A and B are shown apart, each in its own frame.
Chain A
Amino acid sequence: MAQVSSISNEQSQTAKSVTLKISRYNPEHDESSGFMEFNVQYEKWTTVLEAILDVKKHFDHSVAVRYSCRQATCGSCGMIINGKPRLACFTKISELDSNVVTVEPMNNFPVIRDLAVKFEKLFDTHQKIKPYLIRDDTELVSDEKEFLQTPEEVEQYIQFANCIKCGLCNSACPTMATDSSFVGPQALAQAYRYVADSRDKGKDSRLKIIDDSHGIWRCHFAGSCSQVCPKGVDPAMGIQLLRGYMLGFKS
């Protein structure tokens, strides 16, 4: 017990406090969203997600937030933190360099409640670009070798395979802000991921899907998607390289 007590004292000596402003909105009851403020203690390693869970534990258990892995792998806890889309589990309060931390649901996604948003549209557009290898043969037949690739061939797409479908890129995109039919940077980057894969033979069918007035031509290379990606996917690069295929600069 004495040891626990000393750890507790040590924590309290280094802990600072911050005002956490959480957007509250329940579509079933509320006409518009509002903010609730909480004063929370944090250490230099405390993440925004941990602060929100602290609020749920000690102040208001009704705050709605989606999370799972707490290590920037599942892509569940995307939200607007101090004006920019970020993963709450990947953002330390100490890095924000502010006495007030404002958390809101991601833009360009319908709100379920408070900080939780609907991902159906994101998953639909992701599925639309056929996110799987297309070819006539299979490596699952016995006595067949797996589809071999050189390290150089893997480098062409592996960056884009890191996408965790958190939706931050779609939230930051200026085209998504006004065009509800736009495919979005997440799906377009994933289209490039499969087009650039030497094992895939579905390039023509995939390019036909995104060659649409609300498809790849709506991207104007603002690059905000790449700036907010927590996994270094760089969707803007993928989209421009994909457009290079469509314009005939790449084969």
Chain B
Amino acid sequence: MSQDDHREGIGGMINPRRYGIERVAYLLMRLSGLGLLAYFIGHIYETSNILRGQVGWDDFMDLISGTEGHIIMSIVIAMCVFHTVNGVRVMLGHGGMGVGKPARPDYPYDPASQNYKHKIGIYSAIVLAAVAMMYGLAVMFGE
């Protein structure tokens, strides 16, 4: 961090500890977005193995069918569900929906935009991601 600018930098941007669950959701949204991007690139590489013929394809399927592959897939499921549900919440908020109505503020000035609807949305995204992840693990390891 440059003292001239005194910006917090990426460390400050991703610090989830100071501003409640909304900032945790902000961090998870970024992490899941980057994770899904990495998966998308990996998925293209994975499916391109078909060009190596049946043997190459089977070799790669063996690689991702192991324990590590199943764990990675379950994390991808969790990221996908969280990013989708939280993304819907954020998109609605970006359109000005569910952020409350302007009114004269009263002390202690609880911000209307950080209302229970959004908190429910965030906790729902986390719970649904966990449930989907566990279901995925059960299906993959249950075979």
Residue of A nearest to B100 (CB): A237
- Chain B residues near A233 (CB-CB < 8 A): 105
Check if B99 is an interface residue, CB within 8 A of chain A: yes
- Chain B residues near A228 (CB-CB < 8 A): 19
Check if A111 is an interface residue, CB within 8 A of chain B: yes
Check if A223 is an interface residue, CB within 8 A of chain B: yes
Check if B104 is an interface residue, CB within 8 A of chain A: yes
Q: Smallest Cβ distance from B53 to chain A, in angstroms?
A: 45
Contact among B8, B10, B22, B100 for A222, CB-based, below 8 A: B22
Q: Smallest Cβ distance from B16 to chain A, in angstroms?
A: 10
Check if A236 is an interface residue, CB within 8 A of chain B: yes
Interface size on A, residues (CB 8 A): 56
Interface string of B1-37 (1 = CB under 8 A from A): 0011111111011100011101100100100000000
Q: Say whether, besides A223-B113, A226-B111, A241-B102, A110 and B4 are in contact (CB < 8 Å).
A: yes
Q: Say whether, besides A159-B103, A240-B96, A247-B94, A224 and B23 are in contact (CB < 8 Å).
A: yes
The CA-CA distance from A241 to B101 in the complex, in Å, is 9
Q: Is the CB of A107 within 8 A of B109?
A: no
Q: Is the CB of A220 within 8 A of B102?
A: no
Check if A109 is an interface residue, CB within 8 A of chain B: yes
Check if A164 is an interface residue, CB within 8 A of chain B: no
- Chain B residues near A241 (CB-CB < 8 A): 96, 99, 102
Q: Is the CB of B90 within 8 A of A232?
A: no
Q: Say whether, besides A176-B7, A177-B13, A223 and B111 are in contact (CB < 8 Å).
A: yes
- Chain B residues near A156 (CB-CB < 8 A): 102
Check if A78 is an interface residue, CB within 8 A of chain B: no
Q: Is the CB of B8 within 8 A of A107?
A: yes
Interface string of A173-216 (1 = CB under 8 A from B): 01111101000000000000000100000000000000000000
Q: Which among A117, A160, A196, A243 has the highest number of chain B CB atoms within 10 Å?
A: A243
Q: Say whether, besides A111-B6, A180-B5, A221-B90, A229 and B95 are in contact (CB < 8 Å).
A: no
Q: Is the CB of B99 within 8 A of A240?
A: yes
10 contacts between A and B (CB under 8 A): A106-B6, A110-B4, A174-B13, A180-B5, A180-B7, A220-B26, A223-B113, A227-B114, A240-B95, A249-B96
Residues of chain B at the chain A interface (Cβ within 8 Å) = 3-10, 12-14, 18-20, 22-23, 26, 29, 90, 93-97, 99-100, 102-107, 109, 111-114, 118
